[in-house]
Amino acid sequence: METHPSQSDLNFDLGEQKELLRQEIQKLVARECPREYVREMDEKEEFPRRVWNALAEAGYLGIPIDSQYGGSGGDILDMVVVVEEMAKKSASVALTFINTFAKMRELERASVVAL
């Protein structure tokens, strides 16, 4: 018979650095994604430029990019934290974020193969 850890044995603590990231992105998203803006952006099917610019200015667009290329060299959990907080306000903004970095990874892989 398999034994499973009890819920009290599981630790989902992200650590201080990830929690700080979560708090920072929550503030940005609360400021840049008010309900009215998100609704208008979705209805008009517009790119979330205002949010994108704020993410860039705060350095969040550099999370998945290696520091040798000017990014912050974050890990997958950093991305998950950012996407989770964005998705709470706007699924379309979160999906745009994910899609952009998926395409960047494809280009990165293609350039390595071409070498």
Q: List the beta strands (DSSP E) in 16-96.
A: none
User: 79 by DSSP, 3-state: which?
Assistant: helix
Q: What is the mean pLDDT of residues 62-77?
A: 82
Residue 52: alpha-carbon gap to chain centroid = 11
Q: Give tens-digit pLDDT for 10-40.
A: 767 788 999 999 999 999 999 999 999 999 9
| The model's pTM | 0.76
The structural domains of the chain, ordered by start, are 15-114 (1.10.540.10)
